[in-house]
């Protein structure tokens, strides 16, 4: 791939930082998928970001199609969000008492997602799903949780089974350090398989506290629910007195103003009981939430017996960033995200087709991913059956040409409202060589 090699960037500053990082941080990274293990090579240390651009420690510029794994839906350091953050920070960093921003953010979420009557704010998506599971168990007095293979719900012990992306990337069946007892009450079923759900409820329905699902999975690549799947989960769980937890940490406020629920709901069989949110609602800061039916949420301490807490929960700076970001997620943003994403996906698909690279593009709102295989993907086994080496070559060619994709074939690509003509042109210019790299024998 001489055209790619000729464009290779200088990355000595990133490499030096990685070497120092490795001495003091395991693998040199604070979240495993950042380490590029799935695609080889060394991650770029980013020094700053603005709009659709990342700037690394060597001064290279990249179009950002990672968007911090979803949160940066308005683009980096947008002026109005920055102003809200600066204003909040100037008034103090953390109070350990209630404050108005928490109320405003909770009101914004409740106003957007119709079935959500109350929310509790936390600091990460992992905390949100962990707490939602505890609440579902406390509410039902049952302990079994059903999840789907390829769905990731954060690194909650009980949910760290067949958990997609980071775990998929490393081909780890499970994580060490999770005792068997922690997942003994977790049942993992194939995604989009209602018959399997019916079967397990027929056998153990009275023991099942909840089914948790990604509203539209993005952590095995984008695999939307088949028509009727979410509805079926609602019908089956309701019939057996189990809760349905819709994990919208990735899709929330990204797929539409009301997340995936806004695209697919309302459901004739009823809404999910609980939702989890994160990513976009923090605007790049640590803010996340779980919420839903008021009678379920009333079981939380201090009103009820289910304990849940956080020193930094509802942090005034994080909630200011989240609120400004959600307020920026206006009606006109979503069609713009969609047309930007379509332009990128169409161009990528055309480039791959012209080099004869097998691929399929899948969507959930403006979230999409490209599987390096011919056929559509409806579950995790199919997602894993793709040419990840071809993706790796494609990824590195794009990176060398100034486009930062998610560093794994099992991730969604994210766009922002700030991706403009210039950013799209850089992507378009990079695609032909990247497609040739993908097509080249490994």
Ligand X SMILES: *Cc1c(COP(=O)(O)O)cnc(C)c1O
Task: Write out the catalytic residue numbers.
Answer: 152, 247, 279
Which CB atom, from 154 or from 407, has the smaller least distance to ligand X?
154
Which CB atom, from 149 or from 352, has the smaller least distance to ligand X?
149
Min dist. Cβ of residue 332 to ligand X (A)? 25
Nearest residue to the partner ligand X, using Cβ: 125
Question: Are 195 and 222 spatial neighbours (Cβ–Cβ below 8 Å)?
Answer: no
Neighbours of 84 (CB within 10 A): 23
Which CB atom, from 296 or from 318, has the smaller least distance to ligand X?
318
Min dist. Cβ of residue 258 to ligand X (A)? 16
Which CB atom, from 51 or from 154, has the smaller least distance to ligand X?
154
Min dist. Cβ of residue 166 to ligand X (A)? 10
Peptide bond connecting 253 to the previous residue in cis, omega within 30 degrees of 0 = no
Write out the residues near ligand X by the rule CB under 6 A: 124-126, 129, 152-154, 214, 219, 247, 249-250, 278, 288
Min dist. Cβ of residue 105 to ligand X (A)? 16
Min dist. Cβ of residue 203 to ligand X (A)? 27
Which CB atom, from 11 or from 246, has the smaller least distance to ligand X?
246
Min dist. Cβ of residue 164 to ligand X (A)? 9
Min dist. Cβ of residue 246 to ligand X (A)? 10
Which CB atom, from 278 or from 417, has the smaller least distance to ligand X?
278
Which CB atom, from 326 or from 357, has the smaller least distance to ligand X?
326
CA distance 273 to 296: 8
Those residues with Cβ within 8 angstroms of residue 184's Cβ, 6 or more apart along the chain or in another chain: none
CA 254 and chain centroid, separation: 10
């Amino acid at each position: 791939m001489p055209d790619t090699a000729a464009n290779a960037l200088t990355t000595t500053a990133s490499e030096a930082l990685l070497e120092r990082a490795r001495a003091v941080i395991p693998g040199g990274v604070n979240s495993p998928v950042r380490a590029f293990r799935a695609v080889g090579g060394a991650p770029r240390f980013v020094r700053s970001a603005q709009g659709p651009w990342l700037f690394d420690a060597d001064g290279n510029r990249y179009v950002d199609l990672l968007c911090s794994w979803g949160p940066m839906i308005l683009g980096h350091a947008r002026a109005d969000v920055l102003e809200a953050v600066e204003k909040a920070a100037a008034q103090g960093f953390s109070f350990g008492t209630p404050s108005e921003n928490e109320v405003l953010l909770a009101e914004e979420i409740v106003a957007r997602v119709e079935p959500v009557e109350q929310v509790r704010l936390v600091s990460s998506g992992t905390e949100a799903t962990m707490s939602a599971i505890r609440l579902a168990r406390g509410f039902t007095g049952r302990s079994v949780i059903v999840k789907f293979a390829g769905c990731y719900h954060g690194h909650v012990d009980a949910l760290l089974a067949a958990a997609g992306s980071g775990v998929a990337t490393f081909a780890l069946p499970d994580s060490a350090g999770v005792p068997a007892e922690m997942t003994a009450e977790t049942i993992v079923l194939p995604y989009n398989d209602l018959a399997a759900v019916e079967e397990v409820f027929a056998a153990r329905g009275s023991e099942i506290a909840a089914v948790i699902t990604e509203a539209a999975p993005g952590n095995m690549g984008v695999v939307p629910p088949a028509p009727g799947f979410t509805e079926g989960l609602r019908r089956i769980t309701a019939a057996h007195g189990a809760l349905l937890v819709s994990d919208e940490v990735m899709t929330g406020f990204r797929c539409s103003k009301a997340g995936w629920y806004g695209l697919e709901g309302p459901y004739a069989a009823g809404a999910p009981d609980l939702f989890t949110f994160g990513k976009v609602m923090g605007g790049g800061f640590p803010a996340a939430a779980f919420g839903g039916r008021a009678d379920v949420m009333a079981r939380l301490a201090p009103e009820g017996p289910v304990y849940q807490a956080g020193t930094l929960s509802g942090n005034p700076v994080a909630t200011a960033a989240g609120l400004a970001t959600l307020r920026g997620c206006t009606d006109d943003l979503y069609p713009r995200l969609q047309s930007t994403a379509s332009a990128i996906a169409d161009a990528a698909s055309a480039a791959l087709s012209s080099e004869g690279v097998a691929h399929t593009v899948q969507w959930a709102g403006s979230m999409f991913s490209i599987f390096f295989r011919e056929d559509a993907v409806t579950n995790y086994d199919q997602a894993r059956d793709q040419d990840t080496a071809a993706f790796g070559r494609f990824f590195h060619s794009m990176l060398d040409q100034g486009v930062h994709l998610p560093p794994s074939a099992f991730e969604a690509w994210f766009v922002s409202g700030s991706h403009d003509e210039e950013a799209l042109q850089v992507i378009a210019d990079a695609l032909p060589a990247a497609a040739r790299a993908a097509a080249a024998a490994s």
